[in-house]
Amino acid sequence: MAGTGPTITVDGRGLRVVIVAGQWHDVITDGLIAGATRVLQASHAEFSLVRVPGSFELPVACKVALENGADAVIALGVIIRGGTPHFEFVSNAATDGLTRVALDTGKPVGFGVLTIDDEQQGLDRAGLPGSKEDKGEEAASAALATALVLRQLRGQIG
Protein backbone atom coordinates (compact mmCIF):
# COMPACT_ATOMS: atom_id res chain seq x y z
CA MET A 1 0.00 0.00 0.00
CA ALA A 2 1.48 3.34 -1.02
CA GLY A 3 0.87 6.02 1.56
CA THR A 4 0.70 9.62 0.42
CA GLY A 5 0.98 11.30 3.81
CA PRO A 6 3.96 11.59 6.08
CA THR A 7 4.80 8.69 8.36
CA ILE A 8 4.90 10.03 11.89
CA THR A 9 6.27 7.82 14.63
CA VAL A 10 5.76 9.14 18.14
CA ASP A 11 5.99 7.89 21.69
CA GLY A 12 2.41 8.07 22.89
CA ARG A 13 3.04 6.73 26.39
CA GLY A 14 0.79 8.54 28.84
CA LEU A 15 -1.70 9.63 26.18
CA ARG A 16 -5.32 8.52 26.38
CA VAL A 17 -6.93 8.32 22.96
CA VAL A 18 -10.44 7.35 21.91
CA ILE A 19 -11.24 6.12 18.42
CA VAL A 20 -14.81 7.19 17.61
CA ALA A 21 -16.08 5.39 14.50
CA GLY A 22 -19.32 5.28 12.59
CA GLN A 23 -21.10 2.00 11.99
CA TRP A 24 -22.15 2.72 8.39
CA HIS A 25 -20.11 1.05 5.65
CA ASP A 26 -18.48 -1.29 8.14
CA VAL A 27 -15.99 -2.89 5.74
CA ILE A 28 -14.43 0.48 5.00
CA THR A 29 -14.75 1.76 8.57
CA ASP A 30 -13.23 -1.44 9.98
CA GLY A 31 -10.23 -0.87 7.70
CA LEU A 32 -9.88 2.69 9.01
CA ILE A 33 -10.09 1.41 12.59
CA ALA A 34 -7.39 -1.20 11.89
CA GLY A 35 -5.04 1.48 10.54
CA ALA A 36 -5.60 3.76 13.53
CA THR A 37 -5.16 0.83 15.91
CA ARG A 38 -1.80 -0.12 14.36
CA VAL A 39 -0.48 3.41 14.92
CA LEU A 40 -1.77 3.61 18.50
CA GLN A 41 -0.33 0.21 19.41
CA ALA A 42 3.05 1.14 17.93
CA SER A 43 3.06 4.40 19.90
CA HIS A 44 2.14 2.68 23.19
CA ALA A 45 -0.75 5.10 23.76
CA GLU A 46 -3.68 3.91 25.88
CA PHE A 47 -6.76 3.75 23.67
CA SER A 48 -10.33 2.58 23.38
CA LEU A 49 -12.93 2.32 20.63
CA VAL A 50 -16.54 3.48 20.61
CA ARG A 51 -18.98 3.16 17.73
CA VAL A 52 -21.72 5.64 16.83
CA PRO A 53 -24.44 5.15 14.21
CA GLY A 54 -22.87 7.34 11.51
CA SER A 55 -20.63 10.28 10.69
CA PHE A 56 -23.23 12.85 11.75
CA GLU A 57 -22.92 11.58 15.34
CA LEU A 58 -19.11 11.76 15.48
CA PRO A 59 -18.77 15.33 16.82
CA VAL A 60 -20.90 14.89 19.94
CA ALA A 61 -19.24 11.60 20.89
CA CYS A 62 -15.78 13.08 20.31
CA LYS A 63 -16.61 16.09 22.47
CA VAL A 64 -17.82 13.91 25.36
CA ALA A 65 -14.69 11.74 25.13
CA LEU A 66 -12.43 14.79 25.26
CA GLU A 67 -14.38 16.37 28.11
CA ASN A 68 -14.02 13.15 30.09
CA GLY A 69 -10.27 12.74 30.06
CA ALA A 70 -9.18 11.76 26.57
CA ASP A 71 -6.09 13.59 25.34
CA ALA A 72 -7.11 13.11 21.70
CA VAL A 73 -9.80 11.48 19.60
CA ILE A 74 -9.71 9.93 16.16
CA ALA A 75 -12.96 10.38 14.24
CA LEU A 76 -13.49 7.73 11.56
CA GLY A 77 -16.43 7.48 9.20
CA VAL A 78 -17.65 7.16 5.65
CA ILE A 79 -20.02 9.41 3.72
CA ILE A 80 -20.87 8.24 0.20
CA ARG A 81 -22.39 10.70 -2.26
CA GLY A 82 -25.92 9.91 -3.32
CA GLY A 83 -28.51 11.55 -5.50
CA THR A 84 -29.73 14.04 -2.89
CA PRO A 85 -28.19 16.96 -0.96
CA HIS A 86 -27.92 14.68 2.11
CA PHE A 87 -24.22 14.07 1.33
CA GLU A 88 -23.40 17.78 1.57
CA PHE A 89 -25.45 18.24 4.74
CA VAL A 90 -23.79 15.34 6.57
CA SER A 91 -20.30 16.14 5.24
CA ASN A 92 -20.54 19.77 6.31
CA ALA A 93 -22.05 18.91 9.70
CA ALA A 94 -19.34 16.35 10.46
CA THR A 95 -16.47 18.55 9.29
CA ASP A 96 -17.72 21.72 10.98
CA GLY A 97 -18.69 19.84 14.14
CA LEU A 98 -15.32 18.11 14.51
CA THR A 99 -13.48 21.38 13.89
CA ARG A 100 -15.58 23.05 16.58
CA VAL A 101 -14.90 20.20 19.01
CA ALA A 102 -11.14 20.61 18.54
CA LEU A 103 -11.31 24.38 19.00
CA ASP A 104 -13.74 24.28 21.94
CA THR A 105 -11.77 21.65 23.86
CA GLY A 106 -8.25 22.65 22.81
CA LYS A 107 -7.53 18.99 22.10
CA PRO A 108 -6.77 17.22 18.82
CA VAL A 109 -9.32 15.49 16.64
CA GLY A 110 -7.74 13.19 14.08
CA PHE A 111 -9.96 13.55 11.01
CA GLY A 112 -10.53 10.25 9.23
CA VAL A 113 -13.94 10.83 7.69
CA LEU A 114 -13.95 9.73 4.06
CA THR A 115 -16.20 11.76 1.76
CA ILE A 116 -16.40 9.71 -1.40
CA ASP A 117 -18.36 9.31 -4.61
CA ASP A 118 -18.55 5.52 -4.53
CA GLU A 119 -17.61 2.52 -2.43
CA GLN A 120 -14.46 1.77 -4.44
CA GLN A 121 -12.95 5.12 -3.49
CA GLY A 122 -13.48 4.17 0.16
CA LEU A 123 -11.90 0.77 -0.31
CA ASP A 124 -8.90 2.44 -1.98
CA ARG A 125 -8.37 4.73 1.05
CA ALA A 126 -9.26 2.39 3.94
CA GLY A 127 -5.92 0.65 4.46
CA LEU A 128 -7.30 -2.71 3.39
CA PRO A 129 -5.22 -5.20 1.38
CA GLY A 130 -4.85 -3.63 -2.05
CA SER A 131 -5.70 -0.10 -0.81
CA LYS A 132 -3.65 2.79 -2.13
CA GLU A 133 -3.91 4.80 1.11
CA ASP A 134 -4.56 4.30 4.82
CA LYS A 135 -6.55 7.26 6.09
CA GLY A 136 -7.10 5.64 9.50
CA GLU A 137 -3.35 5.48 9.99
CA GLU A 138 -2.95 9.08 8.84
CA ALA A 139 -5.69 10.35 11.19
CA ALA A 140 -4.17 8.54 14.17
CA SER A 141 -0.66 9.79 13.38
CA ALA A 142 -1.89 13.38 13.12
CA ALA A 143 -3.86 13.16 16.38
CA LEU A 144 -0.90 11.73 18.32
CA ALA A 145 1.60 14.21 16.92
CA THR A 146 -0.72 17.13 17.66
CA ALA A 147 -1.42 15.90 21.21
CA LEU A 148 2.32 15.86 21.89
CA VAL A 149 2.82 19.33 20.39
CA LEU A 150 -0.01 20.72 22.52
CA ARG A 151 1.44 19.07 25.62
CA GLN A 152 4.81 20.67 24.84
CA LEU A 153 3.24 24.09 24.23
CA ARG A 154 1.25 23.94 27.46
CA GLY A 155 4.44 23.05 29.34
CA GLN A 156 6.35 25.96 27.81
CA ILE A 157 3.61 28.55 28.24
CA GLY A 158 2.07 27.34 31.53
Task: Quick: pLDDT tens for 93-131.
Answer: 999 999 999 999 999 999 999 999 999 999 999 999 999
How far does Cα 68 stand from its chain's mean position?
18
Q: Which residues are catalytic?
A: 86
The three-state secondary structure class of 68 is coil
The highest-level CATH class for domain 16-24+33-154 is alpha beta
The three-state secondary structure class of 54 is coil
How would residue 155 be classed by pLDDT, with cut points 50, 70 and 90? Answer: confident
Closest residue by Cα to residue 97 from 80, 81, 73: 73
φ/ψ of 14, rounded to 5, equals 90, -5
- How far is residue 13's CA from residue 105's CA, in Å, rounded to a whole number? 21
Q: Are 7 and 39 in contact (CB under 8 A)?
A: no
Residue 2: predicted pLDDT: 46
**Where along the chain do its domains lie?**
16-24+33-154
Is 83 flagged in the annotation as binding? yes
The three-state secondary structure class of 38 is helix
Mean pLDDT of 136-145: 97
Is 33 flagged in the annotation as binding? no
The more confidently predicted of residues 143 and 84 is: 143
- For the stretch 12-71, pLDDT in tens is 999 999 999 999 999 999 999 999 999 999 999 999 999 999 999 999 999 999 999 999
Is 146 flagged in the annotation as binding? no
